[in-house]
Structure 1
């Protein structure tokens, strides 16, 4: 199914925020020192300025929870549980030292040896809602995969629910949306979408989760929808931010992901 959404120029202009995005000057983060068959649905997205927010454009109202990263140091421990242990699929390591908050952004760095990071939100652990995150990456190694996702509370879901609403894999020119509605290994367990995008530029990624649907937006423009109620996660979920390492045996180039803010709406 091909869905196009065209917005009046006035509507787009009204949604553009004048707040400056976080940025860093010079080195973005010190190296991490650690010893250690799916249904494809591609939706065309009308080009929009990359500072347009779905929340503003679609009237989601006030922010309920989140993090503006307007502090310096480690991620706020009242808001985030930072991973400390084995990496994705047991590869490499997720270290708290991979994270640094400064100049209005949170940066997670992955080094040449698979020392990287991730963290899970302690806020807005809820069933249904709207999340929006502003993110960019370095010109990254294809073995480092940035991902913005909703994960089940308590790490438990009877159908392995997962909502990856901004994920870039080996093809660094693509961003993907993946709604996991059944456990891997089944013939059909995901609904997916993808589009070409420059992840080294700031973009706003958003997801709306209701009792009847999952919808995704990039810079305010619709790019994913699944209205099959059987695909909607049956448990409460929360935001996580991850830079995952998928080694191939070849050398890895250090890479990073930055998050300007995470905002949750009713």
Structure 2
């Protein structure tokens, strides 16, 4: 979601077309927990585990929210969940909404990444669970050369349609060839679901509650098509408006809106 992402669909689970099958060999397991936050505390998000992106510049997508830092109204832990809340309030003159964008201090290359969450509704909302690299070492050292993995994106004007996408220099939305999958999840905004990816040197696959609906394969043609070979960290945010989220306007009466996160868990990849 850098966030740059329109939903061009390469794989359409809801139509009955199966996603590209991941390779059968080599096989991997993902049982060793390496990093997590269970949100079994109260207050601001644990500063040893999370940091913030801050500002209201539009974030490359003409978004309308201002992302705050360590402000309880926008990011807090209560009732066993992380709450990321978008609010209609002009904290900053140029931004009619506030929200939060959290970055995990934990990162790794390869593994299984699980996030159990309930996402917000409302036209104009654009929640995302996604990943970016710790270091930009390829190409011009900026997006999309170094890759992005979108584990979950949802736009409020298209309720309960979930997207997973990868972006890189060779495949990204500005040239309309990004690799993407979508599925219909009837209770996405009213119930918790486990959104996950499994990332190996061969594939990146996405599943919801264990059901696979997206797979991108390593073509072995170089970093332009596969920059996913170095540590990435996780981002959690609720954007408002923007080139995708705001395509059909913003329902001001729908706010505040919350993304609730029950847990975040990273698992190591083991071959064999």
Matches within 5 A, 1:123-138: 123=106, 125-138=107-120
For residues 194 and 249 of structure 1, the distance between their equivalents in structure 2, rounded to whole angstroms, comes to 23
- 1:189-213 deviations in whole A, cap 9, x for unaligned? x111111112121000110111111
Q: In the alignment, which residue of structure 2 is the partner of 1:195?
A: 183
Distance 1:60 1:221 in 2: 16
Match of 2:207 among 195, 217, 227: 217
Question: 2:174 is paired with a residue of what secondary structure?
Answer: coil
Structure 1: any 5+ residue segments left out of the alignment? 1-36, 47-57
How far apart are 1:39 and its partner, in Å? 5.0
How many pairs does the alignment contain? Answer: 216
Q: Measure the CA separation in 1 of the matches of 2:184 and 2:14.
A: 10
Q: CA deviation at 1:62?
A: 2.7
Q: Distance in 1 between matches of 2:251 and 2:8?
A: 29
Aligned to 1:179: 166
Contact preservation (8 Å) 2:144, 2:168: no
Structure 1 residue 38, shift from structure 2 partner: 4.0
Going by fraction, where is strand more abundant, 1 or 2? 2
1:62-119 CA distance string (max 9 Å, x none): 3110111111110111100123212543532011320010121100111123211110
Q: In structure 2, the residue corresponding to 1:185 is in which secondary structure? A: helix
Larger RCO of the pair (alpha carbons < 8 Å, separation 6+): 2
- Deviation, 1:144, is 1.0
**When you count helix as a share of all residues, which structure comes out higher?**
1
SS in 2 for 1:233: coil
Alpha-carbon offset, residue 157 of structure 1: 5.3
Distance 2:173 2:45 in 1: 32
Paired with 1:134 and 1:45, the residues of 2 have a C-alpha distance of 25
Q: Tell whether 2:268 aligns with 1:261.
A: no
Q: State how far apart, in whole Å, the 1-side matches of 2:9 and 2:122 are.
A: 27
The TM-score normalised by the length of structure 1 is 0.73
Cα RMSD (Å) of the superposition? 2.5
Unaligned runs of 5+ in 2: 1-6, 17-27, 89-95, 137-141
Mapped to 2, the partners of 1:120 and 1:132 lie a distance apart of 15
Question: Partners in 2 of 1:45 and 1:67 — Cα distance?
Answer: 35
Task: Identify the residue that residue 125 of structure 2 maps to in structure 1.
Answer: 144
